[in-house]
Structure 1
Amino acid sequence: MNAVIRSSVLRPPEIEFLGRIERNLAIVADLSRADVLMCVRVGRDIAVASQARPHSMAPIHPQDISGTRLKAEEASQIERALESGRPSSAEIERWGTRAPMVRQVHPVLGPQGRVVAAITIETNLIEHERQRRRHPVFRRALASLQKAAFSDEIPGVVELIPFGEQDGVIYVDVQRRIRYLSGIATNFYRKLGYMDPLVGRHVEYLETGDDELVGQALDEGRCLRGESKAQDREWVRQVVPVLGENERPLQWLRSRLWPNRRVGKTSGVVGAFLMVHDETEARRRERELQVKSAMIQETHHRVKNNLQTIVSLLRMEARRTTSEEARRVLEESMNRIHSISVVHEFMANQGEGKINLREVGQRLVAHMRQMANSPNHQISFTLSGPDIFVPSQQATSSALVINELLQNAAEHGLAGRDVGAVSLVLADLGDRVLIQVSDDGAGLPNDFDLHRDGSVGLNVVQVLVRDDLKGEVSLSSNAGVTATVTFPKPVER
């Protein structure tokens, strides 16, 4: 809203006032089952300063249109409301289409009593007709809520969560008697065994904790939210008080003079909307996911431990063997298994989320530094690059690739040298990831061919990059050897 407001001619108190009104728009959109737009004058134009899309149905404007300046034919009804200060309702064509919609326009009076904005409530013809056929009690209560919401901030409104398509709504009067239930709300309470009609009954009859929450909201004149269990169901309940039209100025004054005071039934609150959401299935799925996640993490932990046990066994065999060739093969196998165990350790600690490739690289560089160096053999290993998060499968393949390239650089690129440097560079190329390992050795022979002359480690790299990562690998020689691997990031869904 700020960018549009800054371009308007509104005064600071009016801007602050509209900021309070803006916080009401989301719940109005959900209960009205309509898009709600706040429009202001910007120069000679009318612009959308704020937008609230309903969670209870498909919106008229699914895209964000905040900041949009309206065409003359789109703004004429709003222009009249800003000039006359009178509300109106009209059937118009939806922006950019020929589809009809119904738009209600409500002028907003600022603190000094002048019209500072217009709020539109826009919905399709079918939904407008459905709302028109709803019980008069609901329609009157909704109209009162809309008027109150466009007059000042509803106390406690920021604590509310969206009201969805599968949620039920009840209207309770100031005596806490049920005057309206939606079909979904009726079905919710039938699941709890309330088969008789509930309209006209005191909300205390429900024995679900609704009475206490509704009573507190009516007494305090503010929105409240609570969670409870009834039988085997888990509920999220929200209460939005409805202020009587003649009492709104007094309520506004009371809320400013005594913000923490319980205002009681004399505050002008004439009823309240009770919104009911059945959270049972969502909570059940959440608990199942938590159990499955814990089981998966435990599996990764055990795999990591088993891999480390295998490494320990191979290390024992490497110490016992008298064959240098066998010792070299065993050490290479240990490094490969270690690189896989590093990824499983990350997954055991943080679940099945994405793995930070830089952290994996740090662990592998530290391991290679420990394995390759001795008092008479000093090779510098460095890592540079940003945090790059990839799925666990890509992280496992990348770890193996990094391990092979580091090992190849230390063993072959710096063969015959007691001192040298190996660097690992990671880069985020947007839709691709780059892994680059360089050494400062003698370089490659002029007739070197990767596919023909590559070592076992380089052959492993080629297979992993081609088949698992769906990427490319290349070698270049210039004051040493640089191995470059690039592969695409997975498409987000």
Structure 2
Amino acid sequence: MSTLSDLLAEHTALPGSAVAHLQRLVSEWQLLADLSFSDLTLWVPLEEHSEAGFVCVSQVRPTTGVTVHPDDLVGAHLDGDGAHLLRQARHDEPAVEVPEPDGAQPRTYRREVVPVRADGRTVALISRDTGSRVGREASALETAYIDAADDLFQMVDDGTFPPPQQTGEIHTGPRAGDGLLRLDADGRVVYVSPNAASAYHRMNLIGSVVGSDLAAVTRKLVADPFDAAELAARIAGAVDGRASLRMEVEVRAATVLFRALPLRPRGRPSGALVLVRDVTEVRRRDRALLSKDATIREIHHRVKNNLQTVAALLRLQARRSRDDAVRHALSESVRRVSAIALVHDTLATSPEDRVDLDQIVDRLVPMIVEVASVQTRARVRRVGSFGIIGAQLATTLVMVLAELVQNALEHGYSAEHATGEVQILVDRSARHLDLRVLDDGVGLPTSFSLERDGGLGLQIVRTLVDSELQGAIGLRRREDRPGTEVTLRVPLRGRS
């Protein structure tokens, strides 16, 4: 799907400043559509100085009303008689078309074209298509919304909306449906929507805010003096023509998000719009999620500590044992417990239930080499990246990999063949994780069978691969040189 930038680059030679202005305009797209109850489409001429036609580069539908364009128009071309309103508006002529009452014209909605000016010239055109409201009296909310939309569209024509200093932060700000207050040129409230009234009542306002100085009223409701002064200054600044970004304040039991927009059509002060949204419940859920995440990370931390304690006890027991077989078994148990502890250690500091497996493997390998037989001087090298893996899958993969590398070090190299290299080759795609463990040791016996032969380590691997990873594993002699090759394929689709 082509983006706005792609379509502008393909069809126009607009300078960077004009492209940036159109991107800021589209970031305000939904607010304009909701206030005007209209479908909006953005058109640019195909050629700078000709009548070749126009192409639609962006589209938005209102959430406050029914759309008149159910089809996607982005990328559509308009020329000939169908583009006469766009040509009129491009040449600074009034461009409005109203459907005939008798239905003689095929169009059933009112269309108005608004020029988009930047750097003193028309760079694009907005088609504002509004469904017919014949026979129905507009409500106070509709009247206030449409009046505000008319002022904003005039500012688009003036080239003053959106302001050049605006950033993308407005994407997370309140919308028209969340709550709207219209202020006059003196900063007094002339209209408050039901949702905005509810938000102010949550802020412990007694009575109506209509007719009052909103900056002064709001300042009294905010307990924090610094937040109160800043919010009042932003509301007053919008009345004076200064745009501001969103601001969130804590007011007693409520959390409210504010945004103030100046209204200055044709450069004349016309008050401001203040958008408000009660985000109390949203922030309560956010805090609950943060608390839950902190609890989960603390659990991982404690599990890691407990596993390390178990590993230390096993290590102490191994040192006290006089039986070599017992010491070896306990040392392998220490390695297995420590491998699982590494995963929990990583999860204890991770904001999500996912880990960077490369970091764990790179910490695990030196531990495996240390536990391996003292006669082995082979080194272990990782090639490729595991990437980010879900915690459950990561724990199983770490255990399998630890067993395979330990097996290669202990059984692939002897006192006569003590040096070499074990390679961990990783190839990850969208569907599979392919893992190969290669060593250049003595190789497998000729009659070796993975199903029949092998010790506890390979039995653990087979069980984990079959039951936990739902993967496939193979073990064979290397064809290009002496040594052993283990191949493992793990499906990734359907896993978090």
Structure 1 range deviating more: 340-349 or 299-308? 299-308
- C-alpha separation in 2, matches of 1:336 and 1:49: 58
- C-alpha separation in 2, matches of 1:482 and 1:57: 65
Aligned to 1:413: 412
Do structure 1's residue 107 and structure 2's residue 125 form an aligned pair? Answer: no
Instruction: Tell me which amino acid in the other structure corresponds to 2:31.
Output: D
- C-alpha separation in 2, matches of 1:99 and 1:333: 78
Structure 1 range deviating more: 73-82 or 462-471? 73-82
Residue pair 2:241, 2:269 contacting (<8 A) in 1 also: no
Percent identity between matched residues is 27
Residue pair 2:53, 2:83 contacting (<8 A) in 1 also: no
- C-alpha separation in 1, matches of 2:322 and 2:76: 82
Aligned to 1:487: 490
Do structure 1's residue 32 and structure 2's residue 33 form an aligned pair? Answer: yes
Residue pair 1:81, 1:88 contacting (<8 A) in 2 also: no
Instruction: Tell me which amino acid in the other structure corresponds to 2:377.
Output: Q
- C-alpha separation in 2, matches of 1:144 and 1:362: 61
Instruction: Tell me which amino acid in the other structure corresponds to 2:202.
Output: K
- C-alpha separation in 2, matches of 1:483 and 1:57: 62
1:325–1:99 CA distance, 2 compared to 1 (3 A): farther
Residue pair 2:117, 2:156 contacting (<8 A) in 1 also: no
Structure 1 range deviating more: 353-362 or 198-207? 198-207
- 2:180 is aligned, of 163, 166, 169, to 169
Instruction: Give the TM-score of the pair, scaled to structure 1.
Output: 0.82
Structure 1 range deviating more: 479-488 or 209-218? 209-218
Residue pair 1:81, 1:118 contacting (<8 A) in 2 also: no
How do 1:50-69 residues align onto structure 2 when only pairs under 5 Å count? 50-51=58-59, 68-69=75-76
Residue pair 2:90, 2:115 contacting (<8 A) in 1 also: no
Instruction: Tell me which amino acid in the other structure corresponds to 2:402.
Output: N
Shift in Å, 1:492? 7.3
1:405–1:27 CA distance, 2 compared to 1 (3 A): same
- C-alpha separation in 1, matches of 2:242 and 2:58: 26
Shift in Å, 1:101? 7.1
Do structure 1's residue 87 and structure 2's residue 95 form an aligned pair? Answer: yes
Residue pair 1:88, 1:106 contacting (<8 A) in 2 also: no
- 1:214 is aligned, of 212, 235, 250, to 235
Residue pair 2:86, 2:95 contacting (<8 A) in 1 also: no
Aligned to 1:399: 398
Which string of whole-angstrom CA distances, capped at 9 and with x for unpartnered residues, describes residues 70-103 of structure 1? 3669963664445654333567xxxxxx998765
Aligned to 1:250: none
Aligned to 1:256: none
Structure 1 range deviating more: 151-160 or 55-64? 55-64
1:217–1:300 CA distance, 2 compared to 1 (3 A): same
- 1:117 is aligned, of 112, 121, 124, to 124
Do structure 1's residue 76 and structure 2's residue 97 form an aligned pair? Answer: no
- C-alpha separation in 2, matches of 1:29 and 1:9: 24
Residue pair 1:358, 1:426 contacting (<8 A) in 2 also: no
- C-alpha separation in 2, matches of 1:296 and 1:189: 37
Aligned to 1:48: 56
What is the root-mean-square deviation of aligned Cα atoms in Å?
Answer: 3.5
- C-alpha separation in 2, matches of 1:432 and 1:105: 52
1:89–1:369 CA distance, 2 compared to 1 (3 A): farther
SS of alignment partner, residue 162 of structure 2: coil
1:466–1:131 CA distance, 2 compared to 1 (3 A): farther
- C-alpha separation in 2, matches of 1:412 and 1:176: 83
Residue pair 1:174, 1:269 contacting (<8 A) in 2 also: yes
Aligned to 2:21: 20
Instruction: Tell me which amino acid in the other structure corresponds to 1:385.
Output: G
- C-alpha separation in 1, matches of 2:209 and 2:40: 32
Do structure 1's residue 189 and structure 2's residue 200 form an aligned pair? Answer: yes
Aligned to 2:154: 147
Instruction: Tell me which amino acid in the other structure corresponds to 1:198.
Output: V
Which string of whole-angstrom CA distances, capped at 9 and with x for unpartnered residues, describes residues 120-155 of structure 1? 3457779xx998873434322221112203432433
Instruction: Tell me which amino acid in the other structure corresponds to 1:488.
Output: P
Shift in Å, 1:38? 2.3
1:366–1:244 CA distance, 2 compared to 1 (3 A): same
- C-alpha separation in 1, matches of 2:330 and 2:66: 62
1:395–1:150 CA distance, 2 compared to 1 (3 A): farther
- C-alpha separation in 1, matches of 2:431 and 2:396: 18
Residue pair 2:53, 2:80 contacting (<8 A) in 1 also: no
1:21–1:111 CA distance, 2 compared to 1 (3 A): same
Aligned to 1:305: 305
- C-alpha separation in 2, matches of 1:382 and 1:60: 62
1:148–1:470 CA distance, 2 compared to 1 (3 A): same
Shift in Å, 1:224? 4.0
- C-alpha separation in 2, matches of 1:151 and 1:86: 14
1:409–1:111 CA distance, 2 compared to 1 (3 A): closer
Residue pair 2:303, 2:341 contacting (<8 A) in 1 also: yes
Instruction: Tell me which amino acid in the other structure corresponds to 1:48.
Output: C
- C-alpha separation in 1, matches of 2:62 and 2:32: 8
1:347–1:116 CA distance, 2 compared to 1 (3 A): closer
1:462–1:226 CA distance, 2 compared to 1 (3 A): same
- C-alpha separation in 1, matches of 2:67 and 2:468: 42
In the alignment of these two chains, the number of paired residues is 460
Do structure 1's residue 386 and structure 2's residue 385 form an aligned pair? Answer: yes
Shift in Å, 1:45? 4.5
- C-alpha separation in 2, matches of 1:343 and 1:402: 13
Which string of whole-angstrom CA distances, capped at 9 and with x for unpartnered residues, describes residues 378-402 of structure 1? 1111111125100111111111011
- C-alpha separation in 2, matches of 1:130 and 1:186: 23
Aligned to 2:465: 465
Do structure 1's residue 157 and structure 2's residue 160 form an aligned pair? Answer: no
Structure 1 range deviating more: 465-474 or 159-168? 159-168
Do structure 1's residue 362 and structure 2's residue 343 form an aligned pair? Answer: no
Residue pair 2:354, 2:391 contacting (<8 A) in 1 also: yes
Q: Which runs of 5+ in 2 are unaligned?
A: 100-105, 222-227
Instruction: Give the TM-score of the pair, scaled to structure 2.
Output: 0.81
Superposition misfits of 4+ residues, deviation over 6 angstroms = 53-65, 98-102, 123-126, 129-133
Which string of whole-angstrom CA distances, capped at 9 and with x for unpartnered residues, describes residues 325-372 of structure 1? 222221221111111011011011224342111111111111112222
Shift in Å, 1:452? 1.8
Residue pair 2:376, 2:410 contacting (<8 A) in 1 also: no
Aligned to 2:225: none
Which string of whole-angstrom CA distances, capped at 9 and with x for unpartnered residues, describes residues 430-468 of structure 1? 222122211112322333322222332122112212221
Residue pair 1:368, 1:406 contacting (<8 A) in 2 also: yes
- C-alpha separation in 1, matches of 2:485 and 2:22: 60
- C-alpha separation in 1, matches of 2:289 and 2:18: 44
SS of alignment partner, residue 445 of structure 2: coil
1:125–1:482 CA distance, 2 compared to 1 (3 A): farther
Instruction: Tell me which amino acid in the other structure corresponds to 2:24.
Output: R
Residue pair 1:168, 1:185 contacting (<8 A) in 2 also: yes
- C-alpha separation in 2, matches of 1:141 and 1:151: 15
Residue pair 1:82, 1:116 contacting (<8 A) in 2 also: no
